[in-house]
Homo-oligomer: A and B are copies of this chain.
Amino acid sequence: MDMPVIKIYMWEGRTKEAKKKIVSGITDVFVKEGVNPEAVTVIIEDVKKENWGCAGKLADE
């Protein structure tokens, strides 16, 4: 059975409600592709802006 693992890197600060919607939304995307929802693992990494770089700068610079 196909068991996709989805790792999310996003800025810290989202509410638990938002995380619920993200997890359930992403699971639905795979269910539409025929995957059993029980087999979908989503792992969220809340990243401090100090630990996120874009265009050569930290996101909180």
Contacts and interface: CB of A to CB of B under 8 A. Distances in A.
A43 to B, nearest CB: 5
Contacts of A24: 53, 56-57
A56 B9 contact: no
B14 A22 contact: no
Interface of A is mostly: mixed
Interface residues of A, number: 48
B20 A58 contact: yes
Given A14-B33, A37-B56, A51 B19 contact: yes
A7 to B, nearest CB: 5
Interface in A1-53: 2-11, 14, 16, 18-33, 37-38, 40-47, 50-53
